[in-house]
Amino acid sequence: MKFLKYLNLKKPIKGQVLAPEEAMKLAVSQALKGVGSAQPNPYVGCVVTDSQHSFLSCGYHQVYGEAHAEVNALKGLSDKDLEGAHVYVTLEPCAHQGKTPSCAKLLATKPIASVIYGLKDPFKKVNGKGVSLLNEAGIKTGLLKVTEALCQSVVENFIYNQKNKLPFVAIKMATSLDGKMCLNNGDSRWITNKKSRALAHWFRAYYDATAIGVGTLLADDPRLNIRLKTLGSINNKIIIFDEAGDGAGVLKSSKLLECHSLKNIYVVTSFDNQSKYDSMPGLHIIGVNGLVSDGSLDLSDALVQLYDSGVSSIMVEGGPGLISSFISQKSVQRSLQFMAPKILGSGKSYGDGFMAMNMSETIHLKETNIYNLNSDLLVSSLFS
């Protein structure tokens, strides 16, 4: 995830000259401020420089259904300020009227010289139309190729949604150096350090929903809330994978309901067992008809229904068995492995549920990035 190094980029002083690459990296940092409140819209940031490329202002898409990044960046700037100005935006300005007016049409009314964008918008109602509107108004546009991969990483969930009409899935593991997520007795507190755990909470906001298996619900009674002061009182969606409906008897009294309303909780269970949750009105119940060969839930069916129910991205947190099922069924796009310099020896691994018989059957990941979190490491990769 190329954007992580720009999470807390320092805002420049007004008048500081910015090269195009610097301006776009600042726009990326701005975009990430929308984490937890802008989805299911993409995270977008915007930076404005004057005719001499000196910093004027910046903004981001703060809340779904409210003003977009370009509108927020232009606030307080007069047409005189914008004479010959340059606008940098991480995603092509929208061309259509949705919950808010078209940003491309707004920019087309301003005396700016250029709009530089980080990525073409894959949404079919935009997809080049924003650029065309700006060009027709006599405003120069350009894709900044040097930061295209960076801007793409910010909205990879959104791109996947548009292409596949499915939620983007990431698996998150906190492991020892030998790949164990817990001891044989289930103890896992704490394998990783505070910095790793804080970033894991940030990812709960970055992704639309956090998923666990029913075994984790029964054994740990987790809250799964976002405990970061910088993010305020943001609440994520929760998904519980419960094939046999074993969690129906404990969910009502669980710690989950101390932090989450039933309207934000989804239970995925077999079609035959979904009636066990009928006594909880407001709860989203996803019934899956088919099971795969090992008897676990058919995740492909579940993901289709979850997307249709408004879930755009998922971070699967545990336990090891559920993560293994996502890998085995090839239903995951990204791996987030927080690794501590510890060796547990005996214990449970997310790789226990599948076995390659030869090297040709091993699972290959790509575009790996490694981040130092004090003594821990975050290894982030995409599945091929």
Active site amino acids: 70
Tell me if 365 sits within 8 A of 384, measured CB to CB: yes
- Under DSSP, the state recorded for 352 is T
Q: What is the CA radius of gyration of the chain?
A: 22
For the beta carbon of residue 304, count every other beta carbon within 10 angstroms: 16
Q: What are the φ and ψ backbone dihedral angles of 238, each rounded to 5 degrees? A: -125, 135
Tell me if 49 sits within 8 A of 88, measured CB to CB: yes
Distance of alpha carbon 117 from alpha carbon 134, whole angstroms: 12
Distance of alpha carbon 242 from alpha carbon 156, whole angstroms: 28
Bridge partners of residue 116, in order along the sequence? 88, 142
Q: How far is CA 193 from CA 183, 189, 237, 346, in A?
A: 17, 10, 25, 21
Distance of alpha carbon 215 from alpha carbon 175, whole angstroms: 18
The tokens 């896992």 sit on which residue?
Answer: 188
Nearest CA to 92 out of 48, 143, 51 is that of 143
For the beta carbon of residue 16, count every other beta carbon within 10 angstroms: 12
Q: What are the φ and ψ backbone dihedral angles of 383, each rounded to 5 degrees? A: -80, 140
340's tokens: 């501590």
